[in-house]
C-alpha cells in the first residue's frame, strides 16, 4: 500500500515523527477509501480471457465509476488495455493526460464546434445521430483530421444511436471506403438478465447491421453482456462495472474481485439507557442498555440515508472489530451511529476504524440497503475521504482532497501526443 509521506501532500510538523505525521494527516479525514488497482487489473484480465479473441477495452466514465479515471487508466494501460471509453470530452482530457497512447472514445457523442477538442487530445466521438455525423464530417473535411469515430446504433435502448434504417443508409459510404469509421457499436438493455428475450433480439439486430459495416470492428457487450457468451462478444467488449467489482451475473456468484475498501473513524463511544432514542427524528429506540460507536461518515460521503434503521426496520451493517454491527437510527450528513452493544468490552475505541465496504460487505450488499445498484454506490463515493491506491505498479501518494489539483497530475506528466498530421486512414 502506498501512503507515501510526500512532503507536498502531508503537512510536516517539526514536533512529530514521520509516522505520527502521517497518522495525523489521516486523522484529518472521517474515512479512508482504498482502491485496489491490482484487483481492477485482475478483473480486467479475467474479462479479457472470457472474451478472447475479442479485444477487451475498459469503460472509465464517471471517474472510473468513482475509483479514479487517471489511476485506473494508467494501471490498465500498463496491463495491456488499449481502448478506453469515457462519457465526456472533459473526462477524455483527464484520461489523455494520464495515458498518451491508447484509443479513447467519448460516449456522449459529437457537438458542433467540439472537433478541435477531439483533435487536440486525439480522441474519438461515438456518433449516435445523423446530424452529429454530418457535423463531424464537416469538421474532418475542413481540417483534414482523420482520427476516427465510432457509430452507435440503437437496437432497443432508445437512448443514443442511429436507428437501424439510418445505419442502413450509411452502408454505401462504408463500402466506398475512406469512411473514417473505426468502430460500430450498440448497447444491451437487459444483459444482466440471462433469460431476457431482449438479449437475443438485440443480438440479431446488431449482428445483421454490423455485418454490413465491412472491415469495421463491432462491439455490443458491456460487463454482463460478456457473460452472455461468445456470440455477444464480437470484436471488442466494453466492461465497466465488473472491473470495479460489481457482480455482472446477479443471478449467480460474483466472478469478480472486490476493488473498493471503505473505512470510517470512530469519533465517539457512548452508552445510553434502555428507552432512549438515537439520531434525527428519534426513529430508533434502545431496547436494552446500549453502547454506540459514532462514526465520521454520512450521506454526504455517499453512504445513502436509505441505509438508516428504525424501530421497525433493520438498516445496513458495518464491521467493527471484525464483527457485523447494525446502523442505529438515521444516517445523518456527516455521522452514523452503530450499535456495538454485542462486542466485547473495549473491542472498539475512539479512533479505531470500522469497515463500511470490505471484509465481506460488498458494493452489491450496500446497494441493496441503499435501494439502488452497485453502479450508483460506486459513483456516489464521496470526495472527502483520504484516498489510497494500492497495487497497479503505480506510485500514488496518499491523495488529499485539498491537494486534488496536484494529485490529478501523474508523477511526471507525459506529453500529450499531438499528431502533426492526421493518422493514416483505417484500412
Ligand atoms: C456504461 C457503458 C458501458 C459499461 O457498462 P457496464 O454495465 O458498467 O459494464 C458499456 N457501453 C456503454 C455504451 C455504456 O454507456
Read off the pLDDT of residues 340-390 as tens digits, 9 standing for 90 and up.
Answer: 999 999 999 999 999 999 999 999 999 999 999 999 999 999 999 999 999
Q: Which atom of ligand 1 is nearest to the CA of 243?
A: 9
What integer pLDDT is reported at residue 68 of this predicted model? 97
195 shares a domain with 122: yes
Tell whether 31 is covered by a domain: no
CA distance 283 to 223: 40
Same domain, 111 and 141: yes
| Separation between Cα atoms, residue 187 and residue 92, nearest integer Å | 20
For residue 391, being part of any structural domain is answered with no
9 is in an annotated binding site: no
Residues 6+ apart with CB under 8 A from 415: 100
For position 23, what pLDDT does the model report? 79
Average pLDDT, the chain: 91
**What global pTM score does this model have?**
0.89
Cβ 245 under 6 angstroms from ligand 1: no
Q: Is 187 in the pocket of ligand 1 (CB under 6 A)?
A: yes
**pLDDT tops 60 at residue 397:** no
Distance 245 CA to ligand 1 centre (A): 14
Q: Report the pLDDT value the prediction gives residue 183, as an integer from 0 to 100.
A: 98
Pocket test for ligand 1, best of 162, 227, 240 (most atoms within 8 A of CB): 240
Q: Looking at the structure, do residues 263 and 367 belong to the same domain, yes or no?
A: yes
Q: Which residue has the higher pLDDT, 163 or 418?
A: 163
Q: Which of 193, 212, 244 delimits the end of a domain?
A: 244
Among candidate residues 46, 49, 61, 105, the one labeled active-site is: 61
Question: Quick one: pLDDT at residue 398?
Answer: 52
pLDDT reading at 92 higher than 50: yes
198/117 same-domain check: yes
Domains held by the chain: number = 2
159 is in an annotated binding site: yes
Distance 349 CA to ligand 1 centre (A): 42
Question: Quick one: average pLDDT of 251-279?
Answer: 97
Rounded to the nearest angstrom, the distance between the alpha carbon of 242 and the centre of ligand 1 is 10
Q: Assign residue 276 the CATH number of its domain.
A: 2.40.37.10
- The reply to whether 46 belongs to the active site is no
Q: What is the largest CA-CA distance in the chain?
A: 81
Domain-ending residue, one of 212, 244, 276: 244
- Assess whether 63 and 145 both reside in one domain: yes
Same domain, 163 and 226: yes
pLDDT over 70 percentage in the chain: 89
Long-range contacts for 138-146 (Cβ within 8 Å, ≥24 apart)?
139/115, 140/115, 140/180, 143/115, 143/119, 144/421, 144/422, 145/115, 145/118, 145/119, 145/422, 146/180, 146/422, 146/423, 146/424, 146/425
Query: Residue 280 catalytic?
Result: yes
Are 188 and 86 within one domain?
yes
Are 157 and 215 part of one and the same domain?
A: yes
Is 18 contained in some domain?
no
> Average pLDDT, stretch 323-337?
98
User: Which one is catalytic: 8, 105, 280, 389?
Assistant: 280
Query: pLDDT digits over 279-329, tens only?
Result: 999 999 999 999 999 999 999 999 999 999 999 999 999 999 999 999 999
Among protein residues, the one with the nearest Cα to ligand 1's atom 12 is 187
19 is a domain residue: no
pLDDT of residue 8: 44
CATH number at residue 164: 3.20.20.10
Is residue 219, in this structure, part of any structural domain at all? yes
**What whole-number percentage of the chain has pLDDT above 90?**
84
Is residue 275 domain-shared with residue 347, that is, in the same domain? yes
pLDDT score of 12:
58
pLDDT at 417: 42
What is residue 394's predicted lDDT score, i.e. its pLDDT? 52
Domain extent, residue 134, equals 37-244
- What pLDDT is stored for residue 416 in this prediction? 42
Same domain, 54 and 190: yes
Test site for ligand 1: of 55, 66, 107, most ligand atoms within 8 A of the Cβ: 107
| Predicted confidence (pLDDT) per residue in 149-189, tens digit | 999 999 999 999 999 999 999 999 999 988 999 999 999 99
Cα of 246 vs centre of ligand 1, distance in Å, is: 13
* Same domain membership, residue 274 and residue 238: no
Q: Is residue 419 a part of any domain in this protein?
A: no
Separation CA 318–CA 376 (nearest Å): 19
pLDDT at position 408 is 42
Residue range 260-274: average pLDDT?
97
Q: Say what the pLDDT of residue 273 is.
A: 98
Boundary-marking domain end, from 190, 210, 244:
244
Confirm whether 393 is domain-assigned: no
d(CA 105, CA 88): 9
Average of per-residue pLDDT across 89-108: 98
Amino acid at each position: 500500500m502506498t501512503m507515501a509521506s510526500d512532503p507536498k501532500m502531508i503537512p510536516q510538523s517539526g514536533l512529530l515523527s514521520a509516522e505520527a505525521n502521517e497518522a495525523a494527516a489521516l486523522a484529518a479525514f472521517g474515512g479512508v477509501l482504498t482502491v485496489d488497482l491490482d484487483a481492477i487489473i485482475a478483473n480486467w484480465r479475467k474479462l479479457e480471457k472470457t472474451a478472447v479473441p475479442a479485444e477487451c477495452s475498459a469503460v472509465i466514465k464517471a471517474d472510473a465509476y468513482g475509483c479514479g479515471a487517471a489511476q485506473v487508466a494508467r494501471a490498465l494501460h500498463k496491463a495491456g488495455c488499449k481502448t478506453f471509453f469515457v462519457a465526456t470530452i472533459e473526462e477524455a482530457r483527464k484520461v489523455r493526460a494520464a495515458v498518451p497512447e491508447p484509443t479513447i472514445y467519448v460516449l456522449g457523442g459529437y457537438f458542433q464546434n467540439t472537433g478541435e477538442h477531439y483533435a487536440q487530445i486525439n480522441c474519438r466521438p461515438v456518433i449516435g445521430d445523423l446530424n452529429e455525423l454530418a457535423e463531424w464530417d464537416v469538421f474532418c473535411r475542413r481540417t483534414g483530421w482523420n482520427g476516427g469515430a465510432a457509430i452507435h446504433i440503437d437496437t432497443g435502448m432508445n437512448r443514443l444511436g442511429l436507428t437501424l434504417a439510418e445505419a442502413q443508409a450509411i452502408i454505401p459510404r462504408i463500402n466506398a471506403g475512406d469512411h473514417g469509421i473505426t468502430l460500430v457499436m450498440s448497447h444491451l438493455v437487459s444483459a444482466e438478465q440471462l433469460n431476457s428475450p431482449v438479449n437475443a433480439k438485440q443480438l440479431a439486430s446488431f449482428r445483421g447491421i454490423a455485418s454490413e459495416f465491412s472491415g469495421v470492428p463491432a462491439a455490443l457487450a458491456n460487463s454482463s453482456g460478456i457473460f452472455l457468451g461468445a456470440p455477444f462478444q464480437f470484436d471488442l467488449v466494453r466492461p465497466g462495472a465488473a472491473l470495479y467489482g460489481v457482480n455482472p451475473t446477479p443471478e449467480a456468484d460474483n466472478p469478480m474481485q472486490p476493488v473498493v475498501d471503505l473505512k470510517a473513524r470512530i469519533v465517539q463511544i457512548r452508552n445510553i439507557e434502555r428507552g432512549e432514542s438515537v439520531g434525527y427524528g428519534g426513529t430508533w429506540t434502545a431496547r436494552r442498555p446500549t453502547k454506540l460507536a459514532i462514526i465520521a461518515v454520512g450521506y454526504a460521503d455517499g453512504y445513502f440515508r436509505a441505509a438508516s434503521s428504525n424501530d421497525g426496520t433493520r438498516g445496513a451493517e458495518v464491521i467493527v472489530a471484525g464483527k457485523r454491527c447494525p446502523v442505529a437510527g438515521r444516517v445523518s450528513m456527516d455521522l452514523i451511529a452503530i450499535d456495538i452493544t454485542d462486542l466485547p468490552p473495549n473491542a472498539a475505541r475512539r479512533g479505531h476504524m470500522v469497515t463500511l465496504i470490505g471484509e465481506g460487505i460488498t458494493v452489491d450488499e450496500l446497494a441493496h440497503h441503499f435501494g439502488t445498484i452497485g453502479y450508483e454506490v460506486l459513483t456516489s463515493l464521496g470526495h472527502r475521504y483520504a484516498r489510497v491506491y494500492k497495487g497497479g505498479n503505480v506510485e500514488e501518494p496518499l491523495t488529499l482532497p485539498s491537494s486534488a489539483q496536484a494529485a490529478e497530475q501523474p508523477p511526471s506528466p507525459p506529453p500529450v501526443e499531438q499528431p502533426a498530421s492526421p493518422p493514416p486512414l483505417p484500412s
